[in-house]
Amino acid sequence: MEKREKLYEGKAKILYATDHPDLVIQYFKDDATAFNAKKKGTVDEKGIMNNGISAKIFEYLGANGVPTHFEKQLSDREMLVKKVQIVPVEVIIRNRAAGSLCRNYGAVEGKVLSRPIYELCYKNDAYNDPLMNEDHVITLDLATDAELADMKKITFQVNELLKKFFLALNIELIDFKIEFGRYKGKIILADEISPDTCRLWEVGTGVRLDKDRFRNDLGNIKEGYQEVLKRVTHK
Ligand code: TMP
């Protein structure tokens, strides 16, 4: 697969064209941002760890019937993915209270939620990724009713599968954010799934194994990602 021109550069990844019109290369950087890029830094080898973790998770989800953009891992920082049109909506599920649910609504961190909270945010840095509901998504023409229904169904399916996946590694899935894309008329899972986009607490100890180490200056950031990679790849 030949790597061609840069198509897009985001905060944590770069997309490159390939010689295949339907496939692109997703390159993972070490750059880290938090609180809508108000906080910036780098985490040594984060790109390598997130590429490895995302690849394993996409393989697992794909094997369990979730449509994803993942094709294969190409190198330590690159994966080959289907070229999608990203739906500019960040979809979040929360199983326990953490992060903005505590900051914005006063929930007690760690509270087990009586049912998962399904949240939608507008993926738009200029507007600070505001929380939105399904009416906003539809009337602002970000997605159709049918697409939203697919996204919701897949998101709850991903929650069940990922809870099980991580629990087997002695990790609890506290919350996560995913993104979807359109590919040949269908909605499929895109972007990445990694400690940048999930909150992962070790069962029993509550040790944080995710980007909250960076967001909240908890220290040993790289080690947290490394621990997740080690468990996910059984090394
Ligand atoms: P939050 O508590 O900050 O709203 O985050 C909820 C989940 O979504 C958490 O697992 C981190 C993830 N997330 C992203 O992946 N990207 C983002 O821009 C934000 C705000 C959260």
pLDDT at position 52, please? 98
CATH number for the domain harbouring residue 136: 3.30.470.20
Please state, in angstroms and as integers, the Cα–Cα distance from residue 8 to each residue in 13, 16, 18, 91, 134, following that order. Answer: 9, 7, 13, 21, 27
On whether both 120 and 162 belong to a single domain, the answer is yes
Ligand 1 pocket at CB < 6 A: 92, 98-101, 129, 175-177, 196-199
- Domain stop point among 48, 65, 82: 82
Q: What is the pLDDT of residues 78-122, one digit of tens each?
A: 999 999 999 999 999 999 999 999 999 999 999 999 999 999 999
Predicted confidence (pLDDT) at residue 235 exceeds the cutoff of 80: no
pLDDT exceeds 80 at position 208: yes
Mean pLDDT of 59-72: 98
Q: What angle do CA 134, 101, 223 make, to 5 degrees?
A: 115
Q: In 3-state terms, the chain is what percent helix, strand and coil (to 5)?
A: 30, 35, 35
**Which residue among 175, 180, 198, 201 has the greatest number of ligand 1 atoms within 8 angstroms of its CB, and so is best to mutate?**
175
Proportion of the chain above pLDDT 90, given as a percent: 98
**Residues 46 and 151 occupy one common structural domain:** no
Tell me, yes or no, whether 165 and 113 share the same domain.
yes
The verdict on 185 and 174 lying in the same domain is: yes
Q: How far apart are CA 154 and CA 187, in angstroms?
A: 9
Which pTM does this prediction carry?
A: 0.98
Total domain count, the chain = 2
Report the share of the chain in percent with pLDDT over 70. Answer: 100
Q: 42 is written with which tokens?
A: 């780098």
**Buried residues in 102-120 as b, exposed as e (16+ CB within 10 A):** eeeeebeeeeeeeebbebb
Q: Can you tell me the distance from the alpha carbon of 55 to that of 79, in angstroms, rounded to the nearest whole number?
A: 7
Helix (H, G, I), strand (E, B) or coil at 153: helix
Q: How far is CA 137 from CA 104, 110, 116, 123, 188, in A?
A: 21, 29, 20, 11, 17
pLDDT at position 67, please? 98
pLDDT exceeds 90 at position 1: no
Nearest Cα residue to atom 8 of ligand 1: 177
| Residue 26, domain extent | 3-82
